[in-house]
Amino acid sequence: MRHSLPALDATFQITLTGFSFLVLSALLGYICSPHLDTAPPRWVHLAHGLLLFLYQTFDAVDGKQARRTSSSSPLGELFDHGCDALACAALALGSTLMCGGWTLCFWVVAAVPFYLATWEHFFTNTLILPTINGPTEGLMLIYVSHLFTFFTGAEWWAQDFRKSLPFFGWIPLPFLSEIEIPLYVLVLILMIVCAVIPTVRSNVSNVQEVVEARKGSMALALAMILPFIVLLAGVAIWCYLSPSSIMRNQPHLLVIGTGFNFGYLVGRMILAHLCDEPKGLKSGMFMSLVFLCFPIANALIAKINDGSPLVDELVLLLLYCAYTGEPEHFHFHTCVLNFTYKI
């Protein structure tokens, strides 16, 4: 495919075009299922699979195009990985498997390996991918699942796993006999156990090996993960205390705002790597997390006031998306462009 692209085509355009496919997929999911808890028309799943395949293809081609046209640059790396970080949110929103508030959990499953891989790259200067990895086989499995859902319908994933997979009914599970567990929850657990945990262990092991070889501090290395942990903890506390159940009623806004937050953290770490900054915690990464204090405080006040918050949570969600989105990213990328221009 890369040979069919004009040599003068900007790599940025290829990256942005690929990312736009996932944005379109997320928008389609919102139109057909605003709360991600109803089954969309089956053709939507086919569209999701096709759009995800196009994103994967363009994401693979942009690097080859950059090398072919000798246009590889640190700024291109920042832009490419920044789009990929935001794509985690769009990918989760495009699932439309009737998982409602669990959509945020699927975003976490995508975000954790991505952040740890970026963190690992910061120390090793190498993007180490296992033989079976998320950007290739993982995405392929997802769009194959979309194709499968085109034939079965989203209801297949939302019903009890023993109905979707009858052979599990023969396995004696006395402690689960009275509990109805949707199939997508079982899939989520399998993804965590079989993919996320082994990947994280590998990331930490590789970083520890490099840090020990350089006589560095593993504590300083692990400190760079702290902003991401604070993000996950802050959003989890907000969802737990929320008087209006934002995770169930406003999954799109919650994932979008948190996705913007995540994109900033990833971008800041990539910038630190490109500028060869000292290893350790970057206090500027907490800028994007400050806003979370307000909705958490608002939810705590609602607990005291018998469920009546000072500010409507929908307003706070919109402000959250606005704060973590346009102004913050505009300021960040303006600083990067100015820095690059001076160089």
Active site residues: 81
Q: Are 279 and 221 in contact (CB under 8 A)?
A: yes
Q: What tokens appear for 220 in the block?
A: 């300083």
How far apart (Å, rounded) are the C-alpha atoms in residues 33 and 166? 28
Question: CA–CA distance from 236 to each of 79, 98, 132, 230, 323 (Å)?
Answer: 28, 21, 30, 10, 19
Q: Cα(268)–Cα(68) distance, rounded to whole angstroms? A: 28
Residues 6+ apart with CB under 8 A from 318: 253
Contact 106, 275 (CB under 8 A): no
User: Using an 8 Å Cβ cutoff, are 122 and 115 in contact?
Assistant: no
Report helix, strand and coil shares of the chain as percent, to nearest 5: 75, 0, 20
Inter-residue contact 18 to 55 (CB < 8 Å): yes
